[in-house]
Amino acid sequence: MCGRTACALAPDDIVGKCTYQRRSSGQREKPVWRDPPGGQKYYPSHNIAPASHTPVLLSSKHYGDELEGVAERVIQPMKWGLTPAWHKGDPYKIEYETNNCRAEGMLTKRTFKVPLEKGRRCVILAEGFFEWKRNEKVKQPYYIYFPRSGGEGEVKEEKLDIKSEIKLESISVKTEVKSESADSQLLDQIKQEDGGVTQVKSEVKAEVKAEPEDDNLKSEVKSDVKAESNNNEDLTGDKLLTMAGVFDVWNPPDGGEPLYSYSVITVDASPAMAWIHHRMPAILQTDEDIDAWLDSDNVPLHKAVKMIHPIEGVTMHAVSPVVNNSRNKTPDCVKLYDPKKPKTTAASSFMMNWLGKSKRSDSDTDKVSPAKKPKSAT
């Protein structure tokens, strides 16, 4: 399921993060930004709800000769919530939800099957999306995104300790890794390059203690590696999240401007996500996957759907409940949040201020002027 996303970047910044290798020349280039027809607008926001217009990546072939030779990819904002081409009536009022398209039914349900067979495949762009973990009493929101390391990382939920010892040349290195996954690939996160040790693909915290076997070179080295910084800029990720989608074009009966709209394709959640929710967006991790999904001319649908599956390469952190209200669109929606800390409400803030004023007032009454000496009897 995907019910809320975040993308607070300006169009130029979005375009700059979506460079790709042009098939005809092999050179890297930027996609073309195209405003949606009909005067619709994309508004950057840290909290985007369905029915909004959000950036969508698609092949320029969908525009005929208009962009031939200019660019192979286009970014155009579209309405979140697919309006089928055959829909009658208000395009914003659909009898059933089309914000998401379950992968299991995308080739059987007419709403999605028809545009997919027409090659209307797209990639929804966002800095991240939100999901809610349901407990008995509360729903805790989480922000999910690609890590800054370039798209691969581990979900931040510490569940087990993995200890491994490796020996490189004359240095014995003991590494303690805290991670939520028992995937053996964690051991591949340490590799040897030119006699040195390079930490790669790490969304982990590692403490390394190196003890040279040579008594004359004995020293102790300690380093904390934190792939996820406490800096809020780092927490927002560097690479845009790229979610597979299907779009359609609805033309009004009066001959007005067409409406472009989309659905996010969803799949069963991977182990990395399942502890929060049982569904997740179908995320395309590599540019090769994105290219194949968009290239409906050369990659038939039955091959393209093989790229629709759960992935592990995302990370996340808890965020404030302010994101629950879609009218809240500030950066607080994506900032790191500790659910265990006492929550400050408007009422509690008012009470604390009132108590503070009361204490100051009591203190002032204690500081009275010295009493005047009584007049001596004459």
User: pLDDT digit string (tens) for 92-109?
Assistant: 999 899 999 999 999 999
Task: Give the pLDDT confidence of 248-271 residue by residue, as tens digits.
Answer: 999 999 888 999 999 999 999 999
- So what's the pLDDT on residue 341? 75
**Where in the sequence is the domain holding 202, given as residue range(s)?**
160-227
What's the confidence (pLDDT) of residue 148? Answer: 67
Provide the CATH number for the domain around residue 102: 3.90.1680.10
What is the model's pLDDT at position 106? 95
- The set of residues, in sequence order, having a beta carbon less than 8 Å from that of 16 and lying 6+ positions away, is 30
- The reply to whether 193 belongs to the active site is no
Which pLDDT score, from 0 to 100, does residue 181 have? 39
What are the tens digits of pLDDT across the range 191-221?
Answer: 333 433 333 333 333 333 334 344 443 333 2
Q: What pLDDT is recorded for position 357?
A: 58
Task: Report how far residue 122's alpha carbon sits from residue 351's, in angstroms, rounded to the nearest whole number.
Answer: 51
Residues 134 and 243 in one domain: yes
Q: How far is CA 66 from CA 63, 69, 91, 248, 307, in A?
A: 6, 9, 26, 19, 29
Alpha helices in 4-85 (DSSP H): 11-16
pLDDT, averaged across the chain: 75
Q: What is the pLDDT of residue 23?
A: 79
Does one domain contain both 143 and 168?
no
**Alpha helices (runs of H) in the chain, residue ranges in sequence order:** 11-16, 110-117, 232-235, 271-274, 287-294, 301-304, 346-366
Q: Is residue 351 part of a domain?
A: no
Q: Which of 72, 131, 152, 228 is catalytic?
A: 131
DSSP 309-369: S-----EEEE--GGGGSTT--SGGGTS---TTSPPP-HHHHHHHHHHHHHHHHHHHHH-PP
240 has pLDDT over 60: yes
48 band by pLDDT with thresholds 50, 70 and 90? very high
122 is catalytic: no
Question: Which one has a higher pLDDT value, 244 or 256?
Answer: 244
Report DSSP state, residue 221: B
Q: Which of 2, 7, 122, 333 is catalytic?
A: 2
Sign of the four-CA dihedral 123, 127, 133, 139: negative
pTM of the model: 0.69
Q: How confident is the model at residue 22 (pLDDT cuts 50, 70, 90)?
A: confident
If asked whether residues 253 and 217 sit together in one domain, one would say no
Domain boundary among 315, 333, 351: 333
- Is the separation of the CB atoms in 106 and 83 below 8 Å? no
- Regarding whether 164 and 74 lie in a shared domain, the answer is no
CA-CA-CA-CA torsion sign (273, 276, 282, 285)? negative
Q: What percent of the chain has pLDDT over 70?
A: 66
Does residue 209 share a domain with residue 123? Answer: no
Domain count, the chain: 2
In which band, very low, low, confident or very high, does the pLDDT at 25 lie, cut at 50, 70 and 90? confident
Residues 67 and 181 reside in one and the same domain: no
Are residue 35 and residue 107 in the same domain, yes or no? yes
- Taking the chain, what is the end-to-end CA distance rounded to the nearest angstrom? 95
